[in-house]
Amino acid sequence: MEVERYEEIFLGIAGVVLLRFLAALFYAAFGMHIHMMGFAGTIDPAKIAQTPPFDHPGVRQVAPGKYEAVIIGRAWSFSPKTIEVPAGADITFLATSMDVDHGFYVQGTRINMMLLPGQISRMTYRFEEPGTYMLLCHEYCGLGHQFMYGRIVVK
Q: Which residues of 91-112 are buried (b: 16+ CB within 10 A; e: fewer)?
A: bbbbbbbbebebbbbbeeeebe
Closest CA to 69 of 137, 138, 120, 32: 120
* Selected range binding ligand CUA among 1-9, 22-30, 33-41, 136-144, rule: CB under 6 A: 136-144
Q: Rounded to the nearest whole angstrom, what is the least distance from the CB of residue 115 to ligand CUA in the complex?
A: 8
* Beta-strand relationship, 90-97 and 119-126: antiparallel
Q: Give yes or no for a cis peptide into 53 (omega within 30° of 0).
A: yes
Under the binding rule (CB under 6 A), the answer on residue 145 touching ligand CUA is yes
When binding is defined by CB under 6 A, the residue of 83, 141, 152, 154 that contacts ligand CUA is 141
Neighbours of 83 (CB within 10 A): 21
Q: Rounded to the nearest whole angstrom, what is the least distance from the CB of residue 84 to ligand CUA in the complex?
A: 22
Residue with smaller CB distance to ligand CUA, 94 or 115: 115
Is residue 117 within 8 Å of residue 45, measured between CB atoms? yes
Q: Rounded to the nearest whole angstrom, what is the least distance from the CB of residue 66 to ligand CUA in the complex?
A: 28
Q: 4-43 mask for ligand CUA (x: CB under 6 A)?
A: ----------------------------------------
Cα dihedral 19, 22, 26, 31 sign: positive
When binding is defined by CB under 6 A, the residue of 45, 69, 102, 116 that contacts ligand CUA is 102
Can you give the binding site for ligand CUA, defined by CB under 6 A?
A: 76, 102-103, 137, 139-141, 145, 148
